[in-house]
Amino acid sequence: MTRFLKYFFYFVLFAGVMSSCKKQEIHMGDLTAPSDIVINTTIVGQDANHPDGDGSGDVNIQLSGKNVLAYYIDYNATDGVSPELLNSGQIIKKYTSVGVNKYRITVVAYGKGATATTITKDIQVRSDFTPDAEIVTDLVGDGSKTWSMNKDVPAHFGVGPWSTTSVTPEWWSAAPNEKVSCCNCFYTATFTFAKDAASGTYSLTVGSPNGAFTKTGALAGGLPGIPASGDEGCYDYGGGTSTFSFVPSSSGIAASAPSTKTAILLAGNNTYIGYGAVQKEYEILSITSTALKLRVRGTETGNAWYLTLKAD
C-alpha cells in the first residue's frame, strides 16, 4: 500500500503540473505513452573478481526511452522513501547499506497527458565502510547515550535547499525555544543511541512523552499512527526502537564542505530523529561528546532540514 500511495501521489502531482501548463490548449495531440524504457546500470568497480563492485556503493544509472517528458525514480523499492524527479535521466547513486545488498530500482516515465510507463530493475551492490571510532564514541558514549533537541541555541532547527554545496539553513531557522508554544513535543522527545557490545550492532530508542513532532500523511516518513491530514504539530506516537548503521553519506556533498561525510541510517519506519517528516539517512555535519548537528532530506522534495541536538 505504501508503494502504491507514493507512486499515486507523484502521478497526481505530475498530472496537475501538466494541466496547469496547458490551460490554453484544447487539443492534447497524440497521447502516446512512453515506450522502450531502459534502465542501464554500471556498478563502479565491478569485474570478474568483484561482481558487486569495489565497495564504494556507487552505481551509474542511465535512463532512456521514447516519448518521455519526465522520469521519477525510486532507488530502493523497500525503504519507504519517495521517488524523486530525475531531469537528466542520469545520476551516480551511492548505495550505503553496509555489506552486499539487493535493491529494486523503479522508474516511472511520464509522457503527454500524464501517460505513464513503469519498469523495474534489480541490482546487487557492495558497500564497505568503517566509521571513525571517535564519532561512534561521541554518539553512544560507553554503550548508550541520550540526546534531545537543543532548544536554547539559534538555528537548532532549520531548512534550506537540498544541495551538494549549501550546508546551511538559508531558507529559515528557528530562534531559541521557538517551538515551545506550538509544539513542545519537539523538545521533550529523547533519542537514545546504543551499541550492543556482543554483536557490534547499533540501536535507536525514541521516547515521546508528548508525541512526535511531524507532519501528516505521506509526509510523516512512515511513522505509525499519524493521521492522514492535519497541520504540522505534535501527534500521538508511542515511541519505538530500531537498528541503525553508520554509512558513508550519500548526499554528494562537496569535499570542502563542513561535514564528517558519515551518516546515521535508520532501519524501518518506526523511528526518527528530531523531526518526523524527513527521510532515514541523517548526515552528521559535526559531533562532539555534547553536541550533534545533522542534515537530512525532507519528505518534501528539495528540502534539507538541519537539527542540532545536545547530550542529556
Q: Dump pLDDT digits (tens) for 149-186.
A: 999 999 999 999 998 888 999 999 999 999 999 999 99
Confidence band for 80, pLDDT divided at 50, 70 and 90: low
Q: Which residue would you say has higher pLDDT here, 219 or 304?
A: 304
CA-nearest of 116, 118, 120, 119 to 12 is 116
Q: From the centroid of its chain, how far is CA 249? A: 11
Confidence band for 2, pLDDT divided at 50, 70 and 90: very low
Please, which residues bridge with residue 246 across strands? 264
Q: Is the pLDDT of residue 243 over 60?
A: yes
Q: Is the pLDDT of residue 54 over 80?
A: yes
pLDDT score, position 91: 94
* Range(s) within the chain of domains with CATH label 2.60.40.10: 2-127
Ramachandran region of residue 67, left (φ > 0), alpha (ψ -120 to 50) or beta? left
Dump strand ranges (E) for the chain: 35-43, 58-66, 70-74, 84-85, 90-94, 99-110, 116-127, 144-149, 157-161, 172-173, 190-195, 202-207, 212-214, 233-235, 240-248, 262-266, 278-287, 291-298, 303-311
pLDDT digits over 8-39, tens only?
444 444 444 444 444 444 445 578 899 999 99
Contact call for residues 227 and 218 (beta carbons, < 8 A):
no
The Cα-based distances of 6 to 80, 160, 218 in angstroms read 9, 23, 8
pLDDT score, position 265: 94
Q: Is the pLDDT of residue 307 over 60?
A: yes
User: Cell numbers of 295, please?
Assistant: 542534515
Q: Which residue would you say has higher pLDDT here, 254 or 192?
A: 192
pLDDT score, position 257: 86
Listed in sequence order, the residues at least 6 apart from 301 whose beta carbon sits closer than 8 Å to its beta carbon are: 82, 84, 85
Mean of pLDDT values over 282-286? 97
Claim: this prediction has a pTM higher than 0.95: no
pLDDT score, position 24: 45
Place of cell 522508474: 107
User: Cell numbers of 158, please?
Assistant: 532549520
Using CA atoms, how far apart are residues 149 and 235, in angstroms rounded to an integer? Answer: 17
Mention the CATH class of domain 2-127. mainly beta
Contact call for residues 104 and 124 (beta carbons, < 8 A):
no
Mean of pLDDT values over 249-259? 86
Mean of pLDDT values over 101-118? 95
